């Protein structure tokens, strides 16, 4: 480890934000939801079919994702569509896919 005086200081200003993201992502249901939303926008019915997460759990987890600004919604008639709204989440999900899901 380099302990010289020229070493750049580590910036810990974002630690709380990163910790919160990791807490949200650590829930299996929320992780499944984000996995299916990486491919694009889906309505609640398609998310339920793709993840096998049923009401009211699905609504609760979508609310957590929305409150943490990880997904956004769009209403079309009676249907609500969800999509990943934070590009950092897309990067995290793509990295997780490469590490754990790629053949």
What pTM value is reported for the model?
Answer: 0.84
Q: Which long-range contacts (CB under 8 A, 24 or more apart) does 29-36 make?
A: 29/53, 29/57, 29/58, 29/61, 30/61, 30/64, 30/65, 33/58, 33/61, 33/62, 33/65, 33/71, 33/82, 34/65, 34/70, 34/71, 34/84, 34/89, 34/93, 35/93, 35/97
Residue 6's pLDDT band (cuts 50, 70, 90): low
Look at 8 and 83; give whichever has higher pLDDT: 83
Q: Domain 26-99 adopts which CATH fold?
A: Arc Repressor Mutant, subunit A (1.10.10)
Give the per-residue pLDDT at 43: 97
pLDDT of residue 32: 96
Going by C-alpha positions, the residue among 70, 77, 87, 80 that lies closest to residue 30 is 70
Structure token digits, residue 2: 């380099």
For the chain, give every domain's residue range: 26-99
Instruction: Specify the range with the lowest mean pLDDT, choosing from 3-7, 36-40, 95-99.
Output: 3-7
- Whether 21 shows a pLDDT value over 90: the answer reads yes
């Amino acid at each position: 480890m380099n302990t010289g005086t020229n070493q750049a200081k580590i910036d810990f200003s974002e630690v709380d934000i990163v910790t919160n993201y990791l807490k949200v992502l650590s829930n299996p249901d929320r992780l499944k939801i984000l996995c299916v939303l990486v491919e694009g926008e889906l309505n609640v019915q398609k998310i339920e079919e793709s993840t096998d997460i049923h009401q009211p759990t699905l609504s609760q987890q979508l609310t957590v994702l929305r409150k943490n600004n990880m997904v956004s919604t769009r209403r079309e008639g009676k249907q609500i569509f969800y999509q990943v709204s934070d590009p950092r989440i897309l990067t995290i999900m793509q990295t997780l896919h490469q590490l754990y899901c790629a053949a």
